[in-house]
């Protein structure tokens, strides 16, 4: 605890999450910091002081929002995909949303969701994936019949709900703002999370970026209508415009890292800190292998991960 306090002294104001073996970080180790209980995740709120010596109302709202957010980040090892379950602890209806589920781990996800006494309403994909088959079809047909699949309208894929840039999806007192972030594919979107208790939005808490922005990287742009220049502009206009303290949760990581922040990526991302022209050149020289599962995954993901009884195999 003392080590964490020393390392964070002088950190930019914001909301930070730390995994820890203890459930609570005592405020006496961190003067001017307030910490909230959050299961095995410690929520450290570093707040800027006003002239009066009181905490700022904006960051207080962020702290309250983080305290009532329930989130589970789960991993699928074959494609190194992260699936996210989000819920409002104070929601009496126990509704949740699921982001980027995978068919291979749909049974595990369903077990976790039921253990937490949650009911999925929306099953979101950030884009039409090429490296795995989405789990939305399995989850909504075999486990949660009331849930609806969600996909960007411009993706060309089938879904119960099609979304476009600027639309808002809700669960409990939280909102997910849809931001179009094409470039990896033409239909990529990111979901920015806010708390909206009382109708007033908190600052952005976190963003689920799919393959548009990865931890110290970004998605490839050499298939599925990918466009390096478009990706660069999407990230800089729609993601790097968020506050530095906004937490970033990507669809994949291949080195065991779980999250980052907008501030970190603006400063440290080896590709996206370059000029646009240099970025385009770097992406054109990657020479990545053809995705192993794209021929099987892509057609399925265009029909929500499941071929219906009367759907031809070449429906894509």
What Cα–Cα distance (Å) separates residue 245 from each residue in 14, 69, 219? 5, 17, 22
Question: pLDDT tens digits, residue range 97-114?
Answer: 999 999 999 999 999 999
Separation CA 309–CA 281 (nearest Å): 45
Question: pLDDT > 90: what percent of the chain?
Answer: 71
For the residues 83-93, what does the mean pLDDT come to?
A: 97
Q: What phi, psi does 131 have (nearest 5°)? A: -105, 0
199 pLDDT tier (thresholds 50, 70, 90): confident
Supply 278's token pair. 């240099």
Q: Find, among 24, 205, 172, the residue nearest to 90 by Cα.
A: 172
For the residues 101-130, what does the mean pLDDT come to?
A: 98
248 within 8 A of 271, measured Cβ to Cβ: no
Report the residue count for the chain. Answer: 316
Neighbours of 175 (CB within 10 A): 17
Q: Which residue has the tokens 């079809």?
A: 137
Question: pLDDT tens digits, residue range 289-314?
Answer: 998 899 999 999 999 998 764 444 33
Q: E strand or H helix at 3, and its extent?
A: helix 2-8
**CA-based angle 152:158:162, to the nearest 5?**
35
For the residues 67-88, what does the mean pLDDT come to?
A: 97
130 within 8 A of 293, measured Cβ to Cβ: yes
- For the chain, the maximum distance between any two Cα atoms, rounded to a whole number of angstroms, is 68
């Amino acid at each position: 605890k003392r080590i964490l306090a020393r390392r964070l002294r002088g950190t930019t104001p914001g909301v930070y999450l730390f995994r820890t073996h203890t459930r609570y970080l005592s405020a006496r180790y961190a003067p001017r910091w307030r910490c909230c209980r959050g299961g095995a995740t410690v929520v450290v709120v570093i707040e800027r002081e006003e002239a009066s010596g009181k905490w700022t109302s904006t960051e207080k709202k962020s702290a309250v929002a983080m305290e009532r957010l329930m989130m589970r980040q789960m991993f699928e090892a074959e494609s190194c995909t992260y699936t996210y379950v989000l819920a409002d602890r104070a929601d009496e209806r126990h509704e949740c949303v699921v982001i980027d589920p995978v068919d291979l781990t749909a049974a595990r996800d369903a077990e976790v969701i039921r253990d937490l006494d949650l009911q999925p309403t929306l099953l979101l994909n950030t884009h039409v994936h090429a490296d795995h088959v989405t789990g939305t079809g399995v989850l909504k047909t075999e486990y949660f019949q009331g849930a609806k699949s969600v996909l960007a309208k411009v993706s060309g894929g089938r879904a119960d709900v099609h979304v476009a840039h600027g639309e808002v999806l809700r669960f409990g007192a939280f909102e997910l703002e849809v931001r179009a972030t094409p470039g990896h594919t033409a239909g990529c979107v990111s979901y920015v999370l806010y708390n909206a208790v009382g109708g007033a939005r908190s600052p952005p808490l976190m963003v689920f970026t799919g393959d548009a922005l990865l931890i110290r990287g970004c998605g490839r742009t050499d298939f599925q209508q990918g466009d390096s220049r478009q990706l660069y502009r999407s990230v800089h206009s729609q993601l790097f415009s968020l506050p530095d303290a906004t937490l970033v949760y990507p669809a994949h990581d291949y080195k065991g890292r779980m999250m980052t922040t907008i501030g970190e990526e603006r400063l440290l991302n080896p590709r996206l800190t370059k000029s646009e022209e240099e970025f385009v050149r770097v992406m054109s020289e990657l020479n990545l292998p053809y995705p192993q599962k794209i021929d099987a995954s892509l057609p399925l993901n265009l029909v929500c991960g499941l071929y219906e009884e009367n759907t031809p195999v070449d429906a894509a």
